[in-house]
């Protein structure tokens, strides 16, 4: 019953799309059939892979940099209560910096290559991972640490078997938010400055008045992000089989 | 004693950041990295000439309208769906998918539909805010203790009364969480849409400075946006604290979701 | 080493904490507390709530430093003045906490093996020992379960044998059975006594239940209210093995119960 409803709703949405196309015209709403056709074309001529690879590359690079510092800083801060108290408000305030608004500046600094986008993605990733690692470290059950020390765990064992495992749910919560956002940051970055990538593909099509191109690009991007979400969900379920089903870290 | 030391530490951190900035400006050259003082002067000049207010009010309008248009249905819909479990089960994957869609990536589409005026910015903001508020409110509606509802029903309360007296108060903190999380996104979304294509607004101000190669204006505009976002966050947090004084809060967790823009 | 010396001596122990603003000290939580424990002795400790029982065990376990006084293990002070704490005293002191403190991401058997793993003593013999212990408390068949899939009593058993598995000479237990229902509680007490009688470890067992203190111990110490010190030291001359389910019917029980209750207030 519910599944049928879902399928029907999906079909209805498709029908709406087609109807919108007929009412609003080709300039505003591309025809679903043409989008499929275009999708086939860019898959066949290989241009989709080129754009996607470029987007995924800057996403991965920016994400890796942001992730590294986002994990490192909380661990460093964990060593000193005083340092944490001193810089916490500054870090929180710096979150107010509009990351994308840095783009024009970064372009002035680094030119129109990948660097500005990578910096923006790294910046965004950093905050999200920082927050989840930070609250994760605070959330470690102190009694488990005491227990591990008593039974003879050395600092390495403690870090690996208690701290890291305690952090995992927070890490995943952070990852699930950060990774798709890093991808969409890459795409928005490509709206602003690029000569390749999925974002460029969409924005270029818009500037050319190629509505079918815009729609096709958005379909691809949406599918990519949703696919990524799904993958992360699966991975999390696998890695954290030890958790009771209903417990989850809100993000 | 401890408090005074913390305050001093924090002042030192701010001083350190400003000193670093100044040093960066000295070593890279004022053209690439304008020093703090000229940036502040430029910001002040922008404020005095009314340019800042003009552009900021444009951005604010886009953010506020988008906030309303997206936030209102986002806050109301979960209450309606609560009564229709089957419909909400059918809608669920689509809403989750909608939440996952990178709304900012839809900006070109909105520009295509609504032009480069304020409407496309409103659309971007509304699409972002709707899902944030919707899912937070849904979490609130789901967190209601079913025993409380059952109890109310047993003592003969009408559905309307249950909604008003049991469900609404329990959901309010969650609605607020959604609104609070959305605030920086609303402003950020409007700014990004303006960056992509606009001839007004704070995002445009940044773009304009960059196009004229006036880094000091770029810095001033970014600083202005940062201050506005911080101010808006503080405002919403203040309102929430006042209204929900009884709830314990954790500063860092609260801002967790606002790191994204 | 002096063979006649008690295994553990607590001499003039005192503890107070820094107040919240960090400038002054709180009143004494524990003051002038002394007792000693012989090798193989089962000592139960009872006291009113807020008597600093957990604080006492934390100091014995070397997770917290005393403000004054000395703790000696086998005649030697456990810590030079000003030296760092060594939690668990190099695995000589085991600690069964009030909560089970199982690592939620490890299966039951991996939790039990965790101390051996941490101490680098994991081999076939120790694995076999772990399995024997699992069987002894009826956890066989649940090796691959995660803690959240076990009942409260099973988690307690797992926590108990996690400490027994590496065989520390002294085991501290902080109200380990406090949160269990009466039936499970008696079963666990029986399990504990059976394992103890087989190995004769030294146990310091904190409880707020007078009947439990009498039923389990060779000796029961009674703590005062803060500042905590010892106000009663009772030898429990009920012969072993004891039948815990009929412990109330033992002739000595009622007298001991009354005396101790009068002291605990």
Same domain, B25 and B88: no
- The pLDDT score that the predictor gives to residue C20 is 66
- The pLDDT score that the predictor gives to residue B245 is 64
B chain contacts of residue A101, beta-carbon cutoff 8 Å: 191-192, 195, 202-203, 206, 221-222, 225
C chain contacts of residue A236, beta-carbon cutoff 8 Å: none
For the cut 50, the answer to whether the pLDDT of residue A249 exceeds it is no
Contacts 24+ apart (CB under 8 A), B82-89: B82/B141, B82/B167, B83/B159, B86/A1, B86/A2, B86/A5, B87/A5, B89/A2, B89/A5
A contact chains, 3+ CB pairs < 8 A: B, C
Task: Tell me the per-residue pLDDT of B5-40, one tens digit each, with 9 for 90 and over.
Answer: 888 888 999 999 999 999 999 998 888 899 999 999
Q: Do A151 and C61 touch (CB under 8 A)?
A: no
For the cut 70, the answer to whether the pLDDT of residue B111 exceeds it is yes
Pairing of strands C30-37, C8-15: antiparallel
d(CA A168, CA A236): 9
Quote the minimal CA–CA distance from C155 to chain A in Å. Answer: 14
- The pLDDT score that the predictor gives to residue A251 is 35
CB–CB contacts below 8 A, B to C: 5
Same domain, B12 and B72: no
d(CA B14, CA A112): 32
- The pLDDT score that the predictor gives to residue B139 is 83
- The pLDDT score that the predictor gives to residue B106 is 87
Residue B146 confidence class, pLDDT cut points 50, 70, 90: confident
Q: Do B230 and A96 touch (CB under 8 A)?
A: yes
B chain contacts of residue A214, beta-carbon cutoff 8 Å: 108-109, 112
For the cut 50, the answer to whether the pLDDT of residue B255 exceeds it is no
Q: Do A150 and C166 touch (CB under 8 A)?
A: no
- The pLDDT score that the predictor gives to residue A245 is 60
Residue A163 confidence class, pLDDT cut points 50, 70, 90: confident
Same domain, B17 and B74: no
Same domain, B38 and B52: yes
d(CA C162, CA C133): 9
Phi/psi-derived region of residue B156, left when phi > 0, alpha when psi is between -120 and 50, beta in every other case: left
Residue C174: what are its φ and ψ, rounded to 5°? -105, 95
Helix (H), strand (E) at residue B201: none
Complex ipTM tops 0.90: no
- The pLDDT score that the predictor gives to residue B244 is 67
Domain spans of chain A, in order of start: 47-239
Contact call for residues C154 and C139 (beta carbons, < 8 A) = yes
Mean pLDDT of chain A: 87
Greater confidence (A66 vs A99) lies with A66
CATH of A47-239, one of 1.20.58.220, 1.25.40.10, 1.20.1560.10, 1.10.3720.10: 1.10.3720.10
CA proximity to A42, closest of A212, A226, A222, A185: A212
Same domain, B180 and B221: yes
d(CA B99, CA B103): 8
Greater confidence (C249 vs B142) lies with C249
Task: Tell me the per-residue pLDDT of C166-200, one tens digit each, with 9 for 90 and over.
Answer: 989 999 999 998 888 888 999 999 999 998 988 88
What stretches of B83-214 show up as alpha helix (H) in DSSP?
Answer: 85-100, 107-114, 118-142, 146-154, 159-162, 168-196, 202-211
Percent of residues, chain B, with pLDDT higher than 90:
32
- The pLDDT score that the predictor gives to residue A177 is 84
- The pLDDT score that the predictor gives to residue C21 is 65
Query: In the structure encoding, which two tokens stand for residue C244, read together?
Result: 């815990």
SS (H, E, C) B140-152: HHHCCCHHHHHHH
d(CA A86, CA A83): 5
Q: How many domains does chain B have?
A: 2
Q: Which ranges of chain C have pLDDT less than 70?
A: 1-4, 20-22
Same domain, B181 and B252: yes
Strand partners, C202: C170
Query: In the structure encoding, which two tokens stand for residue B43, read together?
Result: 């910001």
Same domain, B122 and B181: yes
B178: domain CATH number is 1.10.3720.10
Same domain, B103 and B15: no
Quote the minimal CA–CA distance from B155 to chain A in Å. Answer: 31
Q: Rg (Cα) of chain A, in Å, rounded?
A: 22
- The pLDDT score that the predictor gives to residue C4 is 57
Same domain, B174 and B54: yes
Residue B248 confidence class, pLDDT cut points 50, 70, 90: low
Task: Tell me the per-residue pLDDT of A26-50, one tens digit each, with 9 for 90 and over.
Answer: 888 899 999 999 999 999 998 999 9
Could you tell me the sign of the dihedral formed by the alpha carbons of B104, B106, B107, B110, in that order? negative
For the cut 60, the answer to whether the pLDDT of residue B260 exceeds it is no
Quote the minimal CA–CA distance from A165 to chain C in Å. Answer: 7
Quote the minimal CA–CA distance from B157 to chain A in Å. Answer: 31
Contact call for residues C206 and C179 (beta carbons, < 8 A) = no
- Interchain CB contact of A151 with C (< 8 Å): yes
B chain contacts of residue A88, beta-carbon cutoff 8 Å: 251-252
């Amino acid at each position: 019953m519910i599944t049928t409803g879902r399928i029907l709703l999906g079909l209805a949405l498709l029908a709406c799309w087609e109807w919108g196309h007929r009412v609003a015209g080709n300039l505003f709403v591309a025809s679903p059939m043409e989008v499929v056709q275009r999708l086939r074309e860019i898959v066949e001529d290989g241009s989709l892979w080129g754009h996607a690879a470029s987007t995924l590359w800057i996403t991965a690079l920016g994400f890796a940099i942001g992730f590294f510092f986002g994990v490192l800083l909380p661990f460093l801060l964990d060593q000193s209560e005083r340092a944490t108290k001193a810089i916490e408000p500054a870090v929180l305030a710096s979150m107010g910096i509009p990351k994308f608004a840095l783009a024009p500046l970064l372009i002035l600094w680094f030119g129109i290559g990948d660097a500005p986008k990578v910096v923006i993605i790294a910046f965004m990733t950093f905050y999200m991972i920082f927050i989840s690692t930070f609250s994760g470290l605070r959330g470690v059950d102190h009694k488990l640490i005491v227990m591990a020390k008593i039974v003879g765990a050395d600092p390495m064992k403690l870090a690996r078997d208690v701290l890291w495992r305690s952090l995992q749910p927070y890490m995943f919560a952070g990852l699930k938010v950060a990774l798709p956002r890093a991808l969409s940051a890459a795409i928005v970055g490509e709206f602003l400055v690029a000569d390749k990538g999925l974002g460029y593909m969409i924005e270029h099509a818009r500037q050319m008045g190629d509505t079918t191109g815009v729609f096709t690009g958005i379909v691809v991007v949406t599918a990519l992000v949703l696919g990524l979400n799904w993958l992360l969900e699966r991975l999390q379920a696998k890695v954290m089989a030890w958790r009771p089903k209903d417990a989850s870290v809100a993000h | 004693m401890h408090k005074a030391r913390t305050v001093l530490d924090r002042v030192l951190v701010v001083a350190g950041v400003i000193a670093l900035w100044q040093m960066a400006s000295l070593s890279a050259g004022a053209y690439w990295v304008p020093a703090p003082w000229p940036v502040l002067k430029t910001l002040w000049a922008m404020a005095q000439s009314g340019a800042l207010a003009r552009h900021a009010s444009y951005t604010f309008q886009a953010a506020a309208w988008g906030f309303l248009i997206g936030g209102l249905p986002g806050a109301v819909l979960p209450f309606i769906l609560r009564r229709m479990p089957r419909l909400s089960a059918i809608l669920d994957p689509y809403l989750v998918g909608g939440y996952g869609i990178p709304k900012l990536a839809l900006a070109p589409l909105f520009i295509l539909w609504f032009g480069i005026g304020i409407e496309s910015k409103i659309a971007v903001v509304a699409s972002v805010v709707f899902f944030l508020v919707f899912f937070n409110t849904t979490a609130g509606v789901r967190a209601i203790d079913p025993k409380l509802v059952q109890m109310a029903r047993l003592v003969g309360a009408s559905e309307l009364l249950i909604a008003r007296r049991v469900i609404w108060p329990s959901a309010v903190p969650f609605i607020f969480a959604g609104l609070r999380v959305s605030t920086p996104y609303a402003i950020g979304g409007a700014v990004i849409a303006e960056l992509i294509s606009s001839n007004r607004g704070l995002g445009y101000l940044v773009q304009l400075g960059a196009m004229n190669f006036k880094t000091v204006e770029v810095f001033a505009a970014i600083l202005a946006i940062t201050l506005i976002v911080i101010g808006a966050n503080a405002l919403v947090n203040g309102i929430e604290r006042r209204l929900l004084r009884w709830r314990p809060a954790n500063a860092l967790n609260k801002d967790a979701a606002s790191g994204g823009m | 080493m002096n063979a006649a010396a008690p295994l553990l001596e607590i001499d003039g122990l005192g503890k107070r904490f820094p107040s919240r603003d960090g400038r002054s000290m709180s009143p004494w939580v524990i003051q002038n507390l002394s007792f000693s424990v012989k090798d193989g002795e089962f000592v139960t400790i009872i006291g009113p709530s807020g008597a600093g029982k957990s604080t006492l065990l934390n100091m014995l376990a070397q997770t917290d430093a005393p403000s004054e006084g000395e703790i000696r293990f086998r005649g030697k002070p456990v810590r030079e003045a000003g030296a760092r704490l060594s939690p668990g005293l190099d695995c000589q002191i085991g600690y069964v906490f009030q909560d089970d403190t199982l690592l939620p991401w490890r299966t039951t058997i991996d939790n039990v093996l965790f101390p051996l793993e941490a101490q680098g003593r994991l081999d076939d013999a120790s694995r076999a020992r772990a399995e024997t212990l699992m069987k002894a408390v009826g956890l066989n068949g649940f090796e691959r379960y995660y803690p959240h899939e076990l009942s409260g009593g099973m988690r307690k058993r797992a926590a108990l044998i996690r400490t027994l598995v590496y065989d520390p000479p002294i085991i501290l237990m902080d109200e380990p059975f406090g949160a269990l229902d009466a039936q499970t509680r008696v079963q666990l007490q029986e399990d504990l006594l059976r394992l103890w009688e087989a190995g004769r470890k030294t146990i310091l067992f904190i409880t707020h239940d007078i009947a439990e203190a009498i039923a389990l111990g060779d000796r029961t110490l009674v703590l005062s209210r803060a500042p905590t010190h010892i106000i009663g030291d009772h030898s429990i001359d009920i012969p072993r093995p004891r039948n815990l389910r009929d412990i109330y019917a033992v002739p000595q029980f009622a007298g001991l119960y009354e005396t101790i209750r009068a002291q605990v207030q």
